[in-house]
Amino acid sequence: MTLAQSFQRARQPEQITLRRKQLLAAAAELFDAEGPSGAGLNAIAAKAGFTKSNVYRYFESREQVLLELFRDEFVKLVDAMEATIGAQPSGDVPALAEAISTTFLAHPRCCALIAILTTTLEQNVSEDTIAATKLHMNAQTARIIAALTARLPGTTPADCGWAIAMIGTLLVGMWPNANPPPAARAVLARPEFKHVRMDLSRDLKRAAQALLQSIAWS
């Protein structure tokens, strides 16, 4: 008997939580290995030992599974970002830029999900699901803003919120270019294309430092 054949519908809250965690773990593994195209609902269901119809008991679509995965990963990112920013010397813009960029890049799954948030993850889901995700992001981002405001004397939460939003927006644009598909990666490895290769650890830090410096001077 396969896992899918032996599947029992969860009825208790703890059982439902367990089923959702199983699906999220399967989605994470597939997403890491194959990107969003490899994390389809059929593949997620098979990986977790479910049938596709059973998945719909817990998530409205493949995109909602990945949105839930993003929410979990975003909390991990924010936990690390809050701690790392708080450990930097007060007013040290280069150190803060390094902390922010390094922390982002230490969470590649979250970065990859952020990069497709509006183009993929917010498709095929309800308005309520999108609103819940954005409220979750607001609450978590407020922690980063508070940490950054405390480390940059003279700035306001509005200043720091703008800077963090702009850094995130730049990351969304940079990520696909820094992580191209295999054929494009092979082309970019050629000497004649050296000038267009992106070094994300360098470029995100430089962009973050410029943005933080702009509010530190204001």
Delineate the domains of the chain, giving CATH numbers in brackets: 11-59 (1.10.10), 62-216 (1.10.357.10)
pTM for this entry? 0.88
CA–CA gap between residue 7 and residue 45 (Å, rounded): 11
User: What sign does the dihedral 29-31-37-40 (CA atoms) show?
Assistant: positive
Separation between Cα atoms, residue 40 and residue 174, nearest integer Å: 25
Phi, psi of 148 (to 5 degrees): -70, -40
Give the C-alpha separation, 163 to 101, whole Å. Answer: 12
Reading the chain (218 residues) residue by residue, the pLDDT tens digits are 444 444 455 566 788 899 999 999 999 999 999 999 999 999 999 999 998 898 999 999 999 999 999 999 999 999 999 999 999 999 999 999 999 999 999 999 999 999 999 999 999 999 999 999 999 999 999 999 999 999 999 999 999 999 999 999 999 999 999 998 889 989 999 999 998 888 999 999 999 999 999 999 75
